[in-house]
Chains A and B, each alone.
Chain A
Amino acid sequence: MNFFFRKELLVGLSAVVLGLAAGAILMAVTGNNPFAGYFYLFAGGLMNLERLGNTLAMATPLILTGLSVAFAFRTGLFNIGAAGQALMGGLVATTLALTLGLPKGLILPIILVAAAAAGALWAWLPGLLKARFNVHEVVSTIMMNWIAYWVTYYTIPTFFKGSFETESRLIPEAASLKIPLLTQLFSGSYINLGLLVSLLAVVVISVVLNRTVLGYRLKAVGYNRFAAEYAGVNVNRHIVASMAIAGALAGLAGATFYVGYTSSMQIGVLPSIGLDGIAVALLASNSPLGVMGSAIFFGILQSGKGFMNAMTKIPPEIGDTIIATIIYFAATSVLIERWFDTMAKNRGGKNRV
């Protein structure tokens, strides 16, 4: 177990280092000072309580989408649909926030449960299609993303139009996940209760995957559905369950983003937390604890890039570029992995009979 943990950590760290190096080269090539750039980038994310709060607030939905993707991966499925599931979760959350006039203590749990359910439903269909018809979930979840995109695109302006054509009304303060205690603690940042939700999710998912019968079965189905079938596990039901759980997590992410971090919904954009969730999961080698770490790292990048842009004129897109490059290196880290595997085989190879 120890050795396993080490290899994954090294692979993740090397991808980060390579990504940051690529970012530095990009900055240099376009006439900027990488050292200044990174200084302000990290300072922008960590410098004071307010910035730290924003970092955590940005990390919150990323933890959840990261968990969503990581959980799906561990059970053998590719959840490219986290963006659409988050969008639907956000849509349901915003709808409830704008229509239910309940006090915070009542409305927040309702919103969270409903958002999770919406996300679960959105992922349930691709899960069903995969289980019964062997439709590849990569394709079906991508389709669901764009269906969610257009559903939101037409629903918000029709029912909840805000001051702009492309935005919804602002949600009432009572319906937001932000609470005065946290906001004051972090000097007026965007931090919200979503953070607690996401940390709780990390613990729950970790336990489910490693210690429960359900987790054992879901992973078995993911690794080898034929063996799972042979062992008496209902494969179809478990594939659907995997996707539904992943969808629920992404739905929660949508809630924390749209009624936590922000207070209105924008149309015409697929939330970047979807794709970024894939990056988070990959970097974390699909471990729940790792997801927490890599989400916070990405949170720093996302929340610091504005400050960096203000101080150095480096375009904020550098943040996304670095994240994307990290995934590329994480995907191609197979070389490093192979090296570790060969070392392991040579050690254990002598015992092979």
Chain B
Amino acid sequence: MFDIILHIFPYAIAFTIPLLVTSLGGLYSERSGVVNIGLEGLMIVGSFASAAATVALYPVLGPNAVWFGLLAAVVAGALFSLLHAFASINLNANQVISGTAINMIAGALTVYIARTLTGSGNIQIKQGVPRVDIPFLSDIPVVGPLLFQKTYATTWIVLGLWLLLWFVLYKTPFGLRLRACGEHPHAADSAGVNVQAIRYAAVVISGALAGLGGATILLTYSGEFNGQVAGLGFLALAALIFGQWKPLGILGACFFFGFAATLANASQAEPALKVIPDVILKVFPYAVTLIALVLLSKKSQAPRAAGEPFEAGKR
């Protein structure tokens, strides 16, 4: 039994971490009042940017190209999200439609450029993020091999980001203002807060984080860009809702979903897991989110002003 856990644990983590960082991006955007269902597209952009950058820089930098790949993904995601920010914040466009447009543009545009660069729509990388054993901690019995051996560097980066983002959201003036913009932007506005600027920052952050999420998938377990992230961006949205827009809740939701999804894959190798049909395991995160939405409908903690365009001066 423990062997099974040991075996699937790294896969579960590898699946969860990109989900987590993307969901955190969605958190910031929505908490500031901008619904961002374009996370899927932003992940694709990040995946593409990291693949292209890594492959391009490999001859020059060797294995260290992956760090620039990650950086490229962050920047690309941030820039691409400006489209959504501009539409939602300056033009007061419908945020769901804008997000949908982002997904569609990202999906098509990245493959277009990939084809122009390599002839096929795919880009493969030779080497991803290195796997390391954490010194000292990996020698602890039981927990050591489980948590600290052969871990991806990106896992620790993302967990560190989680801590930082939690801190910023709840313990800094910026976080207070951001949350105010998502609950009652007019209150923030009349208190002198620049609602537009904060929302821009939040959307750009969500683009950067989602881009990082896409890059992480590519540089850890996928290894190939193919224009898709298999719905992970939407799963991140589900985790955001399931986690009730709180960092801790999101952390739990992502691990929950990550394990569920991995169990489905792992059942092919572990007959013991065949007890539950694969389809149930794959469908599980979505079904469970629906149930949670129903149960939490009375006390939903969604930011009150999320999705509503802010028009200054409207009283």
A and B pair up = yes
Smallest beta-carbon distance B168→chain A, Å: 26
- Whether the Cβ atoms of A332 and B96 lie closer than 8 Å is no
* Interfacial residues, chain A to chain B (CB-CB below 8 A): 26, 30-31, 78, 80, 125, 129, 133-135, 138-140, 142-147, 149-151, 153-155, 270, 275, 278-279, 282, 315, 317-321, 323-325, 327-328, 330-332, 334-335
- Whether the Cβ atoms of B231 and A146 lie closer than 8 Å is yes
Task: Return the 9 tightest CB-CB contacts between A and B, nearest first.
Answer: A324-B104, A320-B108, A315-B115, A317-B112, A133-B297, A328-B101, A324-B105, A321-B108, A154-B279
CB contact between B231 and one of A149, A318, A328 (< 8 Å): that residue? A149
Smallest beta-carbon distance A281→chain B, Å: 10
Alpha-carbon distance A57/B15, docked complex (angstroms): 39
B interface majority secondary structure: helix
- Whether the Cβ atoms of A142 and B237 lie closer than 8 Å is yes
Alpha-carbon distance A115/B270, docked complex (angstroms): 37
Q: Does B278 contact A (CB under 8 A)?
A: yes
Given A151-B279, A279-B104, A317-B108, do A331 and B97 touch, yes or no (CB 8 Å)? yes
- Whether the Cβ atoms of B108 and A331 lie closer than 8 Å is no
* Interfacial residues, chain B to chain A (CB-CB below 8 A): 37, 83, 86-87, 91-94, 96-98, 100-105, 107-109, 111-113, 115-116, 121, 231, 234-235, 237-238, 241, 277-279, 282-283, 286-287, 289-290, 293-294, 297
Chain B contacts for A154, CB-based, 8 A: 277-279, 282
Smallest beta-carbon distance A147→chain B, Å: 5
Alpha-carbon distance A324/B99, docked complex (angstroms): 11
- B287 nearest CB neighbor, chain A only: A147
Pairs across A and B, CB under 8 Å, 6 listed: A129-B290, A139-B241, A142-B237, A150-B282, A153-B279, A321-B108
Chain A contacts for B105, CB-based, 8 A: 321, 324-325, 328
- Whether the Cβ atoms of B286 and A143 lie closer than 8 Å is yes
CB contact between B112 and one of A26, A31, A151 (< 8 Å): that residue? A26
Smallest beta-carbon distance B203→chain A, Å: 15
- Whether the Cβ atoms of B98 and A328 lie closer than 8 Å is yes
- Whether the Cβ atoms of A80 and B92 lie closer than 8 Å is no
- Whether the Cβ atoms of B103 and A335 lie closer than 8 Å is no
A-B contact count (CB 8 A): 128
- Whether the Cβ atoms of A321 and B109 lie closer than 8 Å is yes
- Whether the Cβ atoms of B87 and A78 lie closer than 8 Å is no
Chain A contacts for B277, CB-based, 8 A: 154
- Whether the Cβ atoms of A328 and B87 lie closer than 8 Å is yes
Smallest beta-carbon distance A157→chain B, Å: 11
- Whether the Cβ atoms of B293 and A150 lie closer than 8 Å is no
- Whether the Cβ atoms of B286 and A147 lie closer than 8 Å is yes
Alpha-carbon distance A125/B287, docked complex (angstroms): 12
- Whether the Cβ atoms of B101 and A324 lie closer than 8 Å is yes
- Whether the Cβ atoms of B98 and A142 lie closer than 8 Å is no
Smallest beta-carbon distance A193→chain B, Å: 29
Smallest beta-carbon distance A62→chain B, Å: 14
- Whether the Cβ atoms of B294 and A80 lie closer than 8 Å is no
Chain A contacts for B92, CB-based, 8 A: 334
- Whether the Cβ atoms of B96 and A315 lie closer than 8 Å is no
- Whether the Cβ atoms of B293 and A331 lie closer than 8 Å is no
Chain B contacts for A327, CB-based, 8 A: 97, 100-101, 104
- B286 nearest CB neighbor, chain A only: A143
- Whether the Cβ atoms of B93 and A146 lie closer than 8 Å is no
CB contact between A331 and one of B93, B103, B238 (< 8 Å): that residue? B93
Smallest beta-carbon distance A221→chain B, Å: 19
- Whether the Cβ atoms of B297 and A134 lie closer than 8 Å is yes
- Whether the Cβ atoms of A150 and B279 lie closer than 8 Å is yes
- B309 nearest CB neighbor, chain A only: A334
Chain A contacts for B102, CB-based, 8 A: 328
Given A139-B237, A142-B234, A151-B283, do A80 and B96 touch, yes or no (CB 8 Å)? yes
Kindly name the residue among B102, B107, B108, B109 whose own CB sees the greatest number of chain A CB atoms within 10 A: B108
Chain A contacts for B237, CB-based, 8 A: 139, 142
Chain B contacts for A145, CB-based, 8 A: 234
Smallest beta-carbon distance A77→chain B, Å: 11
- Whether the Cβ atoms of A138 and B96 lie closer than 8 Å is yes
Chain A contacts for B121, CB-based, 8 A: 315, 317
Smallest beta-carbon distance B160→chain A, Å: 29
- Whether the Cβ atoms of B93 and A334 lie closer than 8 Å is yes
CB contact between A335 and one of B37, B91, B112, B278 (< 8 Å): that residue? B91
Smallest beta-carbon distance B259→chain A, Å: 16
- Whether the Cβ atoms of A317 and B109 lie closer than 8 Å is yes
Chain A contacts for B86, CB-based, 8 A: 332
Alpha-carbon distance A48/B73, docked complex (angstroms): 44
Chain B contacts for A30, CB-based, 8 A: 112-113, 116
Chain B contacts for A150, CB-based, 8 A: 279, 282-283
Alpha-carbon distance A254/B115, docked complex (angstroms): 29
Alpha-carbon distance A331/B93, docked complex (angstroms): 6
- Whether the Cβ atoms of B116 and A315 lie closer than 8 Å is yes
Smallest beta-carbon distance B279→chain A, Å: 4
Chain A contacts for B235, CB-based, 8 A: 146
- B97 nearest CB neighbor, chain A only: A331
- Whether the Cβ atoms of A143 and B103 lie closer than 8 Å is no
Smallest beta-carbon distance B290→chain A, Å: 5
- B241 nearest CB neighbor, chain A only: A139
Alpha-carbon distance A135/B100, docked complex (angstroms): 19
Chain B contacts for A325, CB-based, 8 A: 101, 105
Query: With contacts A139-B238, A139-B289 known, what are 20 further pairs, Cβ within 8 A?
Result: A30-B113, A133-B293, A134-B297, A135-B294, A143-B289, A145-B234, A146-B231, A146-B283, A146-B286, A149-B231, A275-B103, A320-B108, A321-B108, A324-B105, A324-B107, A324-B109, A327-B97, A327-B101, A332-B87, A332-B93
Given A147-B286, A321-B105, A323-B104, do A332 and B111 touch, yes or no (CB 8 Å)? no
